[in-house]
Amino acid sequence: MSSSDSLSTPARLTSTATVKLPRLFLFGVGLVYILAGLFFRDPWKTDDVVGLATMLTALKEGGQAMLLPQIGVLAHAQDGPLVTWVGAFSIWLFSPFFELFVSPLDAAIIASRLPNFLWFGLLTASVWYGTYLLGRRPEPQPLALPFGGEPTERAYGRMIADAALLLLVATVGIIWRMHETSEVPALIAFQALAFYSVARMLDHPISGSVTLGFALAAAFLTRGWIGSLPIMLAVLFIFIPGSVLWRQKKWLLISAVLSAALILLWWIPAKHTSEYWTQNWLLWNTTAFGWPDYHEILKALRDLPWFIWPTWPLALLAIWRWRSWLTAPHIWLPLMFAVWPLVAIVFLADSFEPEYALMAVPSAILAAFSLPTLRRGIVNSLDWFAVMCFSLTTATVWLGWIALQTGWPEQISHNIARQTRGYDVYISWPAVIAALLGTLAWAALVRWRLHTKPAGLWRGTVLSAGGLIVTWLLLVTLWMPALDYVRSYRTVSGQLYNALQLHQQAGECVRAQGLGTGQRASFLVFNGINFTYSSDCTLVLQQTSPQSLEDGTAAYSGTGTVLWMGKREPERHEIFRLLRLGKP
């Protein structure tokens, strides 16, 4: 079926459905989204604090640590250096200003999160403009009406772009990840930039190919082959024979040359600086792939639908409704950006949220193109589902907080107390006021939907995005002290530092046994504790479990002197011991 046959299009829409969404509202949604939960908290385990540790190490050590990410003396050879570079530069530039108001550590934490504005801005701009370029093309335009009244191409493209952006913001799984000092926000942003670049190549192949080269190199320098290979394969398969972009394939040479040059500018000096680091990086990136594992596939089938909710059902619906138009750019481009991350998840030995995150952007774009194919009754049903779902989540967050503060309802309070053992309950009134304002905003949004009955097709996406943002806002205001207590290592790190001050002799080093990467990074960030690998160290920090201590299977049981023992109170399966081996 010809893609130019307008009678076959599944889209049915009038111009009233593409009424312009206020730009100020769209900007406000994005601002609240990225601000809520970004500041006024500790770095949490694992990726959040690991990213910050590489930035602080790069600033302190310089040289090799700046070129090749490290956590103290530990070679963090698994991702890439780009996030470390940008974060270290932000800390160097902005932390002196923040130190006028807070401690040097808190100033560095605040400054390290400023690049998240860059990643989020790049992500949202790329998704919006890339979707707009596809939406205004002739292929996705709705059926022409007998007496006119169908939307203009620009208005239709703008409506689809607004919906795609709001659906991305409404994606459940990425909201916390977008606030981390990790590689995930940057990787999603560069995937979105690659999508925009390919869409741009439809009309402006030179500028699009140059931007694509930068996007592919940046993705590689962010998360190596694990993160960049799905994006590269998606781009390659977009240019297959029969696709609209086939005739633009020659411009891919510019992208390939530019991308390779930028990667080699890092790889060549990296290999000469530390062959140990680069060999471990290669080992990590190659052994991450393997034959599909039954248990890993089941885990992905269990977790992925929740991670990319609510866009994946609409994305599948878009593929079905536009099945006669699969090679049209508005379907083929986001489809390839969804298929190859999904293939990568199947062939990865241990896939989780950083890999799932690459499904968020293409799913939101495909979902946006499903909206014009839905009947009015279905659209209204989705609106009501969003209202009920997020009204329930906001009420649940408030009920849990009330149980935390008052002990009622008893069962809920008991369950929360088990997870926050040792936490001293208190009320932060500024946080409560912010949560109340967010709740009132949600009530106003629901009232707007009930009383104005807006005709814009984006109304359901506004409800979904607004509902998720309000729920997130409640979590990071009402629950932030408790979450910090449960997920931060600041307290136990301070206890270890005091123990070292008391027991560590002059010139005596400390090594670690069984210590996880997140824990190592936490001790480095909070108190500058850097563990060596020297076997001559008589001081050992051991991470083990209470069960291992009870049954005597923990290392050094009975052979070392315990100088200190500590743990995070909510953690039931983790305990730390500072030991001195040999004669005390």
Q: Which residues of 296-334 are buried (b: 16+ CB within 10 A; e: fewer)?
A: beeebeeebeebbbbbbebbebbbebbeebebbbbbbbb
Rounded to a whole number of angstroms, the distance between the first and last alpha carbons of the chain is 83
As a 3-state breakdown, the chain gives helix, strand, coil percent values, each rounded to 5, of: 65, 5, 25
Bridge partners (DSSP) listed for residue 539 = 510, 580
Residue 444 half-sphere exposure toward CB, CA atoms < 13 A: 7
Q: What are the boundaries of each domain within the chain? A: 19-38+118-371, 40-112, 376-487, 490-581
| Rounded Cα–Cα distance for residues 539 and 185 (Å) | 38
State the Cα–Cα distance between residues 223 and 119, nearest whole angstrom.
Answer: 14
What's the CA gap between 541 and 544, in Å, rounded? 10
Give me 377's structure tokens: 């009754």
CB-based contacts of 299-304 (< 8 A; 24+ apart in sequence): 299/351, 300/345, 300/346, 300/351, 300/356, 303/352, 303/356, 304/345, 304/356, 304/359
What residue type is assigned to position 137 of the chain? R
Residue that the structure tokens 């780009």 belong to: 82
Q: 45-77: b or e for each residue (b if 16 or more CB lie within 10 Å)?
A: bbbbbbbbbbbbbbbeeeeebbbbbbbbebbbb
pLDDT for the residue numbered 6: 44
User: 3-class SS at 111?
Assistant: helix
Taking the CA atoms of 370, 374, 380 and 381 in sequence, report the sign of the dihedral they define. Answer: negative
In this structure, the dihedral spanned by the alpha carbons of residues 232, 235, 241 and 245, taken in order and rounded to 10 degrees, is -150
What is the SS3 assignment for 512?
strand
| pLDDT by residue, tens only, the chain of 584 residues | 334 444 478 998 889 899 999 999 999 999 999 999 999 999 988 899 999 999 999 999 999 999 999 999 999 999 999 999 999 999 999 999 999 999 999 999 999 999 999 999 999 999 999 999 999 999 999 988 876 788 999 999 999 999 999 999 999 999 999 999 999 999 999 999 999 999 999 999 999 999 999 999 999 999 999 999 999 999 999 999 988 899 999 999 999 999 999 999 999 999 999 999 999 999 999 999 999 888 889 999 999 999 999 999 999 999 999 999 999 999 999 999 999 999 999 999 888 899 999 999 999 999 999 999 998 888 888 888 999 999 999 999 999 999 999 999 999 999 999 889 889 998 999 999 999 999 999 999 999 988 888 888 999 999 999 999 999 999 999 999 999 999 999 999 999 999 999 999 888 999 999 999 999 999 999 999 999 998 889 999 999 999 999 888 898 887 889 999 999 988 888 999 999 987 54
**What DSSP assignment string belongs to 78-99?**
TS-SHHHHHHHHHHHHHHHHHT
State how far the Cα of 136 lies from the Cα of 154, in Å rounded to an integer: 5
pLDDT for 536 equals: 87
Enumerate the β-bridge partners of residue 540. 511, 579
Please answer whether residues 312 and 334 qualify as being in contact, where contact means their C-beta atoms are separated by less than 8 angstroms: no
